[in-house]
Structure 1
Amino acid sequence: MNMNATMILQGIAFFVFAWFIWKFGWPVLLNAMHERQATIAAGLEHAEKAKRQLREADHKAQEALRQAQARSQEIIDQARAQAGSMIEQAKQKAQAEGERIKEAARADLEQERHRAREGLRADVAALAVAGAERILGQAIDPEQHRRDLDRLAAEL
């Protein structure tokens, strides 16, 4: 064969091969590229969505942390106020108890003072009667003596 015929046959084979690739291979290749492009776009969109969700979750976590800190500070403040109130109540109770004890001690002291006065009056009366008996040289009627002492005590 001559060179021209070989070239013509090679040209025809090339065009048949190009047509075959263009008709059957190229659409498959384009389809694969489009699918790959769609997959990449979906992956990028998914990544952006994940970033947004991460930012939102981070924001929510920060907000929850701020709220928890505010709530804990509120609880601490309430506990401090309650402790102060409890301390104040305890002070008031202690003061009231101290006043009650003072009043009880004053009452006991007054009773003791009254008993001591009565005992002293009785002793003074007995001494006065004994002294009067010696001076007068006679016995004094105890019943009369008691009446006289009661009258004298009422006058004092």
Structure 2
Amino acid sequence: MSINGTLIIQMIVFLILVWFTMKFVWPPIIAALDERASKIADGLSAADKAKADLATANKRVEEQLTAAREDATKRLADAERLAHSMIEEAKGRASDEAAKIVANARAEAEQESVKAREALREQVAALAVKGAEAILRKEVNASVHADLLGRLKTEL
């Protein structure tokens, strides 16, 4: 065979090889590359979406933390106000109770004072009667009467 025949046969074999490659080999490779590119694009889009979701979640968490802090501050202030009002109420009740106790003590002291005066009056009356009996039993004598009245004064 000549060089022209060999060259023609090699060209035909090459063309058959190109046709075979284009028909059977190239489409699966292109499909695999397209699929891989699609997966990469989906992955990048999922990553972007995840970043956006993370940013949104971080923002939501920050808002919730802020709300929780505000709520805690409000509750603490309410608790302090309640404690203060309870303390003031307890002070008021204690002062009322102290006033009642003082009033009761004064009333008792007044009653005791009245009882003591009554007892003293009874004793004075008894001494006066005793002195009068002593005077009436003796004969009427000014020096004896003065002496008896002096003793009566010392007894009172």
Q: TM-score, normalised by structure 2?
A: 0.81
The Cα RMSD (Å) is: 1.5
2:146 equivalent in structure 1: none
**Paired residue total:** 138
> What pairs up with 1:1-150 in 2 under 5 angstroms?
1-137=1-137
Offset of residue 107 of structure 1: 0.4
Quick one: distance in 1 between partners of 2:125 and 2:102?
34
Quick one: distance in 1 between partners of 2:3 and 2:127?
174
Quick one: distance in 1 between partners of 2:44 and 2:99?
81
Offset of residue 64 of structure 1: 1.3
Quick one: distance in 2 between partners of 1:63 and 1:131?
100
Offset of residue 90 of structure 1: 1.3
2:141 equivalent in structure 1: none
Offset of residue 2 of structure 1: 2.4
- List gaps (5 residues or longer) in structure 2: 139-156
Residue type at the aligned position of 2:61: A
> Which string of whole-angstrom CA distances, capped at 9 and with x for unpartnered residues, describes residues 19-40 of structure 1?
2212232222222222222111
- List gaps (5 residues or longer) in structure 1: 139-156
Offset of residue 136 of structure 1: 2.6
4+ runs deviating over 6 angstroms: none
Residue type at the aligned position of 1:47: A
Quick one: distance in 1 between partners of 2:132 and 2:10?
173
Quick one: distance in 2 between partners of 1:29 and 1:126?
140
Residue type at the aligned position of 2:22: W
Residue type at the aligned position of 2:135: I
Greater shift in the superposed pair: 93-102 or 33-42: 33-42
Offset of residue 4 of structure 1: 2.4
> Which string of whole-angstrom CA distances, capped at 9 and with x for unpartnered residues, describes residues 73-122 of structure 1?
11111111111111111111111111111001000000000001101111
Greater shift in the superposed pair: 16-25 or 76-85: 16-25
Q: TM-score, normalised by structure 1?
A: 0.81
